[in-house]
Amino acid sequence: MYRFKKITLKLSLPFTLPFTLLLLTSIGLSAQTIESYPSNWWVGMKNPQLQIMLHAPGIGNASITLYNYPGVTLKKVNKVDNSNYLFLDLQINPTARAGTLHFKLTGTTGSNTQNTSGANSIPATFDYTLQPRRPGKGRQFAQGVDSHDLIYLLIPDRFSNGDPANDKIPGLRDQSLDRDSIFHRHGGDLKGIINHLDYLQDLGVTTLWMLPVWQNDMPDRTEHGYAITNHYNVEPRLGTNADYRALGDSLHKRGMKLIQDAVYNHVGLYHFFVQDKPTKDWLHEWPAYTNTTYKDQVLFDPYAATADRKRLSDGWFTPMMPDLNQNNPYVANFLIQHAIWSVEAFGVDGWRVDTYIYNDLPFMNRCNQALLDEYPNISIFGETWVHGVPNQSYFCCNTVNTPFKCNLPATTDFQQLFYGIQEALTKPFGWTEGVNKLYTTTAQDYLYSDPTKQVIFLDNHDLSRFYSVIQEDTAKYKMALSWLLTFRGVPQLYYGNENLMTGVTNPDGWVRLDFKGGWPGDPVNQFSAAGRDAKQNAIFNHIRTLARYRQHSPALQKGKLLQFVPEDAVYVYFRISENNSASGNNNTNNYSANRNIGTSDRIMCIMNTSNDTKTIDPKRFSEGIGTNTTGTDLPSNTSIDLHQPITLRPWSMLVLQLK
């Protein structure tokens, strides 16, 4: 999610905006070009239906036929309100082979369909490519992301500059390049990320999630990527489609995974189909500018007013981000096909959906199902920045009997952050306060169909850095990281967590600073231990130790969670697996050899959330300890006798592998 700085616009709708052509597929007559979306497709897809959007001046006045191609049928040519568009409905049967489709267009003069000779008829052809499918579905791509994984979220513009030649692109509206400004572009790109995959893998990361990589030709604040202006071209200041494909391939060769950030709810104001709308109802438009209320409650409130529901879903996210009408079948097909195209073209393994609650939820169910039908192993989680576990659970697969059911497998778990670990480390212990809030929030997991799919995190690109939230207290920060890497769900780091990056969202640019060492000539290189100070290296090693351990721990990968009611500011929970082997990602290292993970893998986590030293009696926790007699604290490699009282320093946490 990204919210532009609030501005006031007086809009006269529908918009009258400039129109820019972007060449994807060309024909050889006139100076005219035809854009096709999707830009290509594949044979052998489970769904044989394909709808191609054609965009060119006056193309809607033309007639179009498909030259004979075995296994492919042009079922219907759809003309719409705007004569600059045609929509072709194709059926691609299982017998069809990869190759090139040849289409013939014939048009008459009028509107914009004239050839250079001025004749009344303009024969023209254009080609469309059907490719063979990417091999390895569900194994080498579209694998899904689960609790075996560790996600690393980064902003491509702020991570590393691997190709200074693409820092500025002539013709784009935003020509900023100033690393001293938090609101301008800084030059990071996809090649810079590829250059540092060794670093991520060494840290214990298994999965990369980047902010959107698609073209974002807006006048300013383009560093975040959430105002897409072309769905089929990678943002040129980040690189090319080939660079994005190379990044996905590089990750998969390492046994790592790729998550794509998807934006269905809105696009940038300068998207070509906003400037030149295919249909009158392409967008949600109002007599005067209308913003969404951001009030998720109206979607499940049994007493909600219809007008409030409409404004939440149909109101614009910001004045610079038009709200798409997902009830329009052409809009819906465009978005769904782009999702499938992205997975097949770039080998995406998981899908993070931005601003989930503002979408049309029946459309989202259809979109999610289309992805899962084609890629059964792929994971999908949505951003649900709401307040309260019941609110959040409404938007994903849940156990609640409601008139409408969402099929989203998981969400980004803001509740475990806001009403869990953040409360535990910033508020004093009380009946419902402090770490009791973490316990109570977790107790509401019964509302989720599968809480282990929830993505847990300490911060992200929209939130204040957690290290700043806890007043740069390193002891508390280690506790938070230990919790993140041992709790239920899929853990997610935000770039720089490992280097004690600070920043508060006042404004948000302060939580999106550059990774030091990512640019040629940086005086400090935090990709190297030599460039980190003692505190930073301690945190880096703390994360690395637990992250690499969890790659081989059945308990942390898939073990059940057992928690005890906090007493005297001490919270104890276990992760327990009776299985004798870990499964999941293909990353390997020698770390497990020193830990002797046995047939019953049990991890005991003990948090002291007070300013005082605490002592606990292990007998209270015998249900979790079982027959084990000792525990080894993973971060410090110290041994604890489970027959004796355990003493904990103020604001400390033990992560014990039981033996």
80 and 204 co-located in one domain: no
Q: Give 646 or 1, the one with higher predicted confidence.
A: 646
55 and 169 co-located in one domain: no
Q: What CATH number has the domain bearing residue 45?
A: 2.60.40.10
* Lowest pLDDT segment from 99-103, 490-494, 586-590: 586-590
Three-state DSSP state, 507: coil
Separation between Cα atoms, residue 67 and residue 103, nearest integer Å: 6
Quick one: pLDDT band at residue 8, thresholds 50, 70, 90?
A: very low
Residue listed under structure tokens 């492919």? 72
Structurally, the chain folds into a number of domains equal to: 3
Q: What are φ and ψ of residue 291, in 5° steps?
A: -90, 150
Mean pLDDT of 588-593: 34
pLDDT at residue 109 tops 70: no
510 and 648 co-located in one domain: no
Q: Does any domain span residue 318?
A: yes
**For the residues of 542-598, what is the DSSP string, one character each?**
HHHHHHHHHTT-HHHHHPEEEE---BTTEEEEEEEE--S---S-----SGGGGT---
Q: What are φ and ψ of residue 458, in 5° steps?
A: -105, -30
Write the pLDDT tens digit of every residue in 445-468: 999 999 999 999 999 999 999 999
Write the pLDDT tens digit of every residue in 373-411: 999 999 999 999 999 999 999 999 999 999 999 999 999
Three-state DSSP state, 283: strand
pLDDT at residue 63 tops 70: yes
Show Cβ contacts of residue 203 under 8 Å, excluding neighbours closer than 6 positions.
Answer: 152, 498, 540, 543, 544, 547
Nearest to 59 by CA among 42, 91, 40, 37: 37
Strand partners, 631: 640, 658
Separation between Cα atoms, residue 72 and residue 54, nearest integer Å: 18
pLDDT at residue 7 tops 90: no
At residue 162's C-alpha, the angle toward residues 159 and 168, to 5°, is: 90
Q: Does any domain span residue 361?
A: yes
Mean pLDDT of 191-220: 99
The pLDDT value given to residue 166: 98
The pLDDT value given to residue 1: 56
The overall average pLDDT reported for the chain is 92
Q: Does any domain span residue 138?
A: no
The pLDDT value given to residue 587: 38
Q: Which of 132, 167, 200 is the last residue of a domain?
A: 132
pLDDT at residue 67 tops 90: yes
The pLDDT value given to residue 139: 92
Separation between Cα atoms, residue 517 and residue 199, nearest integer Å: 12
Residue listed under structure tokens 């691609």? 92
The pLDDT value given to residue 27: 34
Three-state DSSP state, 264: coil
Q: Does any domain span residue 260?
A: yes
The pLDDT value given to residue 396: 99
Separation between Cα atoms, residue 483 and residue 504, nearest integer Å: 22
The pLDDT value given to residue 529: 99
Residue listed under structure tokens 């999630």? 209
Separation between Cα atoms, residue 80 and residue 631, nearest integer Å: 69
172 and 288 co-located in one domain: yes
Cβ-defined contacts of 301-304 (< 8 Å, 24+):
none
Mean pLDDT of 615-624: 98
Q: Are 225 and 216 in contact (CB under 8 A)?
A: yes
Q: What CATH number has the domain bearing residue 185?
A: 3.20.20.80
The pLDDT value given to residue 24: 33
212 and 328 co-located in one domain: yes
550 and 563 co-located in one domain: no
The pLDDT value given to residue 108: 53
The pLDDT value given to residue 18: 30
Q: Give 203 or 112, the one with higher predicted confidence.
A: 203
Separation between Cα atoms, residue 240 and residue 220, nearest integer Å: 21
374 and 485 co-located in one domain: yes
Mean pLDDT of 575-584: 68
212 and 291 co-located in one domain: yes
Strands annotated E in 427-520: 455-457, 490-494
The pLDDT value given to residue 183: 96
pLDDT at residue 438 tops 80: yes
Q: Does any domain span residue 422?
A: no
Q: What are φ and ψ of residue 200, in 5° steps?
A: -65, -40
Is residue 657 within a helix (H) or strand (E), and if so which, with residue range? strand 652-658
Quick one: pLDDT band at residue 353, thresholds 50, 70, 90?
A: very high
Q: Does any domain span residue 179?
A: yes
Mean pLDDT of 652-658: 99
Q: Are 160 and 196 in contact (CB under 8 A)?
A: yes
Nearest to 419 by CA among 439, 437, 433, 394: 437
pLDDT at residue 114 tops 70: no
Strand partners, 455: 412, 490
pLDDT at residue 19 tops 60: no
Mean pLDDT of 291-310: 98
Q: Which of 519, 554, 589 is the last residue of a domain?
A: 554
Cα–Cα separations (whole angstroms), residue 358 to 156, 170, 222, 282: 25, 34, 22, 16
547 and 601 co-located in one domain: no
Is residue 362 within a helix (H) or strand (E), and if so which, with residue range? helix 361-374
Q: Are 563 and 439 in contact (CB under 8 A)?
A: yes
Nearest to 340 by CA among 363, 373, 362, 383: 373
Mean pLDDT of 216-224: 97
369 and 323 co-located in one domain: yes
Q: What are φ and ψ of residue 177, in 5° steps?
A: -160, 95
Q: Does any domain span residue 592?
A: no
Cα distance between the two ends of the chain: 44
Structural domain including 569 reads 559-581+597-658
The region that residue 111 occupies, defined by phi over 0 for left and psi between -120 and 50 for alpha, beta otherwise, is: left
Cα–Cα separations (whole angstroms), residue 76 to 51, 52, 84, 91: 9, 11, 17, 10
Q: Which amino acid is at 448?
A: Y
Range with the largest mean pLDDT of 4-18, 104-118, 511-525: 511-525
Catalytic residues: 354, 383
Mean pLDDT of 188-194: 99
At residue 205's C-alpha, the angle toward residues 201 and 208, to 5°, is: 100
**For the residues of 67-135, what is the DSSP string, one character each?**
---TTEEEEEEEE-SSTTEEEEEEEE-TT--SEEEEEEEEEBSSTT---TT--SB--EEEEEEEEPPPS
Q: What CATH number has the domain bearing residue 611?
A: 2.60.40.1180
163 and 86 co-located in one domain: no
Quick one: pLDDT band at residue 124, thresholds 50, 70, 90?
A: confident
* Lowest pLDDT segment from 524-533, 570-579, 594-603, 616-625: 594-603
Identify the sign of the CA torsion 203, 209, 212, 213: positive
Quick one: pLDDT band at residue 578, thresholds 50, 70, 90?
A: confident
The pLDDT value given to residue 33: 86
Q: Does any domain span residue 438?
A: no
Percent of the chain residues past pLDDT 90, beyond the cut: 88
570 and 523 co-located in one domain: no
